[in-house]
Structure 1
């Protein structure tokens, strides 16, 4: 049963009527996700029947008020402001530019859910499950048909936002409301005073991961220490090449299994009936930002796919991305960047592979870690009073909790540790840890 919090106090027919712009007859409420699937928000599913007997299926995302660590992060980094700005401002702007280039009847089919509205305390989106979409199994890994769809989604997002930036220039990021697109997880545009604390925290998470790997691979552990003597610099290396080496786009920023929804159909393959993904939609744009294409591409390929998958399907996956980018840029009538070829894409991807490992202990621990090892089940938030909402966990305490969380999940989650080990061994075989820090 859902416990009361500020969203539940706010939820009413009047609130839903104002949000939808249609009179609401009745509504029902249920949980919007499985326990442990989300740490940056609580999800509630609301089925709304309007007076003309139509039905809306809506997912409301709210801050995780029951968890001080996560709530401090969500509020301090303004992730709900960012996500609302993505859906409420950027998506309509992209569609408007598309119409201006293609004609009034043209509609840009962005792979994102329908947006109803929101503010700093909630985001309201269409519940994709009512349309037959579902998440893939994060523990199993994605198939090539699924990865190909994700690459096409990223190609469409990146090409659309590249075209938009080319059309409007950097003035869009100078607007106060769009400052939210200028932050990176280690560099907060709104709170630069906590940058050092943040850098130290992410560096500590990396060092803990290497210490755990060193228990089994002593020589590899020594290489990994030398590879990233200042871990946060490695984490920023890809991001900071934007404008210097790579053209800017708006990235998703956190592209992994739980932020993807797939629709499947039964098809015949090799004489057997199998479920194969036919459509993909990206969700959760709380980390979207102005950066280059390799942030999304590297993060996705090295957290979600296995070494075996990459050996067979890396080139076809990047080809799917490239072909979609070129096609969509052409629809916008925007020339692709000079030198942007399949060969260049593949070479630059491989060039940046060493940099992405510094983020793996953090990403893999939270994505594949077994939250059951924390010693207590993950619960819905307890009731929160008005005064409690104004309280913030000090950033030192917030990050101390995050460091402990990531280490505990890695140390006691065999699947997460095995994935980190596999990535490290693969990159070591590539010689990624034998070179000096890339610039």
Structure 2
């Protein structure tokens, strides 16, 4: 996987004296004697923004076959390092891999459902989070760096889908079923442990990104820029006088951060408040229970954070999917995971005509997994209520798609390696990544169709 002429990689800023990936480190990690190892770049430019990944190929003494791993590290850029510190996303991900997901797998075993609710997870072999209780890595020279060491499942056939093309119906349904597995497991965990909130036991489930006012203030200028450029694209696509363009402009002119916060509140979504933002309000329903739905969500369900395994006999048929990158997991309404995923990974040509089918795939899977785990679904859970709650969650999908679609739909040849940008300001970094939006015909097409659909369905 890599050249043996470069056996070490610096995982700390070059001006600091941090640890290097050495034979000694790998032997400590795996408790085995290393015969040889090599390293390479773990991801392509444009594939990873919050951290850096290095690929490692290791041959242990006495073994003929080499083993492949990834080490996820803090970036060299100080601004991105500060951002990770402020949001605590690295420790959140390590907690999910090392603590929470193993508990969920054990719960499935206890309920006799391990073959039904078989959540796919990349094996993690350890890591270090500065300031947390000691691990075997907390001795010098590794104690001052955050990292997570995991198996590189790409070497056993898992692969990333084409982010620009987006997922077809079959892939999308498979993802929704996997999301439903995690949702059902986290819901069953809450019930088993008598938790009103997961964050009562694990503070890692409380949102620490949108709650950080100083951090969000830094992004306001960026989001204002994105809002303005998105309005321009929609107006060029639909025409300035089109009612959808006018309503889209009104929507994005609101306070972006304050609107996003409504979806990630610790005690759940205020249904009445959020539905007041819909242009066409739901019909009165005396049986509708607006109690918040709260469970563990992935928080970052876009196409680059999922890997697919395919059937060799039917090349384009996906057999399974693994969700990766759990850095922004939070306890929230499941519909915001759905909106995030469907808006950022499924093109409008699939999402709009097949929306009911996609939501039904999630609904049926969630009910099936809850049944296997011997837990009742969320209160009032039905296709009717799921569609109602998803409808207002489309505001979240739209808001998050403003920055993310700029990344997802950027042509491969124009992808920017964020590690090469000389700036410590996060807003400037992402502003650089999103340059060229006005010339991206596919992005303009998608934004126009999104605005038109949301207007026609009365969401904006």
Corresponding position: 1:285 with 2:326: yes
Aligned equivalents of 2:246, 2:116: Cα separation in 1: 53
Alignment of 1:97-112 (within 5 A): 97-102=107-112, 109-112=118-121
In structure 1, the partner of 2:457 is 430
For residues 307-341 of structure 1, give each alpha carbon's deviation from its aligned partner in whole angstroms, at most 9, with x where no partner exists. 22123322222222122212222222211122111
Aligned equivalents of 2:231, 2:22: Cα separation in 1: 50
Q: Any idea what SS the aligned residue of 1:30 has? A: strand
Aligned equivalents of 1:92, 1:181: Cα separation in 2: 16
1:70 to 60, 77, 80: 80
The structural deviation recorded for 1:250 is 1.3
Alignment of 1:326-405 (within 5 A): 326-370=367-411, 373=414, 378=417, 393=424, 397-403=425-431, 405=433
Q: Given the two structures, how large is their TM-score scaled by the length of structure 2? A: 0.79
Aligned equivalents of 1:328, 1:52: Cα separation in 2: 43
Corresponding position: 1:116 with 2:125: yes
In structure 2, the partner of 1:389 is none
For residues 44-92 of structure 1, give each alpha carbon's deviation from its aligned partner in whole angstroms, at most 9, with x where no partner exists. 1112222341643211111221x44433322322221111111011112
Aligned equivalents of 1:299, 1:203: Cα separation in 2: 20
Aligned equivalents of 1:409, 1:250: Cα separation in 2: 36
2:199 to 173, 177, 186: 173
C-alpha contact 2:41 2:55 (8 A) present in aligned 1:
yes
Judged with a 3 Å threshold, the aligned counterparts in structure 2 of structure 1 residues 179 and 265 are, in CA distance, closer, same or farther, namely same
For residues 175-225 of structure 1, give each alpha carbon's deviation from its aligned partner in whole angstroms, at most 9, with x where no partner exists. 5xx42321254223xxx5444444565355334422443355323443223
Judged with a 3 Å threshold, the aligned counterparts in structure 2 of structure 1 residues 221 and 232 are, in CA distance, closer, same or farther, namely farther
Alignment of 1:156-305 (within 5 A): 156-168=181-193, 169-170=195-196, 173-174=199-200, 178-183=202-207, 185-188=209-212, 192-198=213-219, 201-216=222-237, 217-219=239-241, 220-228=244-252, 229-240=254-265, 242=268, 244=270, 245-266=291-312, 275-305=316-346
In structure 1, the partner of 2:139 is none
In structure 2, the partner of 1:38 is 48
In structure 2, the partner of 1:56 is 67
In structure 2, the partner of 1:11 is 21
Judged with a 3 Å threshold, the aligned counterparts in structure 2 of structure 1 residues 223 and 106 are, in CA distance, closer, same or farther, namely closer
In structure 2, the partner of 1:437 is none
Judged with a 3 Å threshold, the aligned counterparts in structure 2 of structure 1 residues 170 and 127 are, in CA distance, closer, same or farther, namely same
Q: Any idea what SS the aligned residue of 2:308 has? A: strand
Aligned equivalents of 2:336, 2:417: Cα separation in 1: 30
The structural deviation recorded for 1:172 is 5.1
For residues 157-180 of structure 1, give each alpha carbon's deviation from its aligned partner in whole angstroms, at most 9, with x where no partner exists. 1000111122221575245xx423
Aligned equivalents of 1:116, 1:28: Cα separation in 2: 18
The structural deviation recorded for 1:108 is 5.8
Aligned equivalents of 2:197, 2:171: Cα separation in 1: 36
Aligned equivalents of 1:279, 1:133: Cα separation in 2: 9
More helix by share: 1
Number of equivalences = 407
For residues 255-314 of structure 1, give each alpha carbon's deviation from its aligned partner in whole angstroms, at most 9, with x where no partner exists. 11111111112556xxxxx52111111111111111110111001111221222123322
1:412 to 439, 449, 452: 439
